[in-house]
Amino acid sequence: MPQPTVSSAGLGSILRALRAALLAAALAACPGAAAAQDGDAAPSVCAPLHAAGDGHPDLQQLFLASCRALAGDAVGEPGGLASRLRVRVGGWLDTSYLDNDIDGRGASFDLDHANLYLDARLDERWQVFVEGEYEHERDLTGLPDEREFELEQGYLEYVVSDALKLRGGKFAAPIGYWTPVHWSVNVDTIEVPIHEATRMVPEQQLGGRVHGSLFPDWLAPLEPTIDYSLALGYGADRLGTGKPDGLNGGLDLRLWSAGRHLLAFSYYAQENGELQDREEHNFMLYGQVALPANLLLRSEYLHQDRSDRPGYTRNADVVYAKLRWDFHRRAYFNYRFQFGQDDRYGFTADHTIHTLTLGWRPIPRVIGKLETAFHDLDDGIESYVAWGASLGVLF
């Protein structure tokens, strides 16, 4: 296995420095100027504020442990609260150049996302996860150019066991495969699937979730694992939840075989507040198969049953199937076919897309993509070709 090259090691150092700068900002609240205690060696930036015997040792250790964790040092000392607390801070950003052959639409280059997250865990039972996002949406199909800052996720989770976890707050909606893991530094393409672009289902849910993993003994040759999720939420315009209005929720069931092959089903229901509270029932069948020669085949099919409203087809179906080939340890080729009903043109049009993507990860925390997509639309809408390049960095 080849060792990291000098260039990749140098890039890794730059990323570590960027992370350290981010952490330094977070250390502003830490007791950085505390004096040494009882002749100890010169203090680190996270020296304790008080000598032992303070009236609130656990609070002191919590603060100290948080500071040390943020500074990248080993967490705390054995036996105290600090040794039970783990904190992870990170983020990512990505930028892209996009162009197309649509008349009147030129090329664009911009910062698309900048995300920061904090993940704090106590005793492997309690978890707080917070993620903030800057996002710049650029859409070739007519939606306005939007820039926004938002709380992408913010939730509290309690782990009863591997089979039962309770989550409350704002979290990635557990619908299908793409939606819960939709971050652009994590997915294989630049363009998102039709059902994501048209927001047929929401990216996040505000409410509660019960989920877990089961490891049954039946069908042992398949090495089965079952993931389940039940979620219930509430949407309102004043809460910034987007389309969902009122109660919404659903379930997700995944059957994994040997940890690589998947067959799964999601159901999600909501009232669409942007369309006269149209009732929408979403049924998604999805899965993946790991094939020899580093090939991965994945597909998602979504059927949305809609209560009748003027101007839109009664129901919508979208499907994609993709084949990814990891032809090199650091590079992949991805082909995706999509077909479905697309509501972004003032009416519902059939939209077919062929997307070709070349991806490159010189180090795990950097991903570059080159992509071209051939869009074919009916109902008199002009077909077009889009192409672009993106670069994403995690820190």
Binding site for other proteins (CB under 8 A): 1-4, 86, 88, 90, 92, 115, 117, 119, 121, 124, 127, 129, 131, 153, 155, 157, 159, 161-162, 172, 180-181, 183, 185-186, 213, 215, 223-225, 258-260, 290, 294, 326, 329-330, 332, 361, 364, 394
CA-wise closest residue to 395 among 134, 4, 14, 130: 14
Residue 242 beta carbon to other proteins: minimum distance, rounded to whole angstroms: 19
Residue 201 beta carbon to other proteins: minimum distance, rounded to whole angstroms: 17
At 230, which helix (H) or strand (E)? strand 224-235
Query: Quick check: 328 and 348 in contact, CB under 8 A?
Result: no
Residue 62 beta carbon to other proteins: minimum distance, rounded to whole angstroms: 19
Residue 24 beta carbon to other proteins: minimum distance, rounded to whole angstroms: 21
Query: Based on CB atoms, which residue is closest to other proteins, 49 or 89?
Result: 89
Q: Which DSSP letter does residue 244 get?
A: B
Residue 54 beta carbon to other proteins: minimum distance, rounded to whole angstroms: 29
* Helix and strand counts by DSSP (H, E) for the chain: 3, 16
Residue 85 beta carbon to other proteins: minimum distance, rounded to whole angstroms: 13
**Which distant-in-sequence residues (6+ apart) come within 8 Å of 64 by Cβ?**
31, 46, 48, 76, 82
Residue 338 token pair = 């999509």
Query: Based on CB atoms, which residue is closest to other proteins, 277 or 326?
Result: 326
Query: Quick check: 171 and 202 in contact, CB under 8 A?
Result: no
Query: Quick check: 124 and 159 in contact, CB under 8 A?
Result: yes
Residue 394 beta carbon to other proteins: minimum distance, rounded to whole angstroms: 6
Query: Based on CB atoms, which residue is closest to other proteins, 4 or 240?
Result: 4
How buried is 342 (Cβ within 10 angstroms: 0-12 exposed, 13-18 middle, 19+ buried)? Answer: buried
Pairing relationship of beta strands 261-272 and 246-257 according to DSSP bridges: antiparallel
Dihedral (CA of 171, 174, 176, 177) sign: positive
Give the gyration radius of the chain's Cα atoms: 24
Query: Quick check: 355 and 50 in contact, CB under 8 A?
Result: no
Instruction: State the amino acid at position 62 in one-letter form.
Output: L
Q: Which DSSP letter does residue 65 get?
A: H
Instruction: State the amino acid at position 352 in one-letter form.
Output: T
Residue 148 beta carbon to other proteins: minimum distance, rounded to whole angstroms: 19
- Rounded to whole angstroms, the Cα distance separating 109 from 388 reads 9
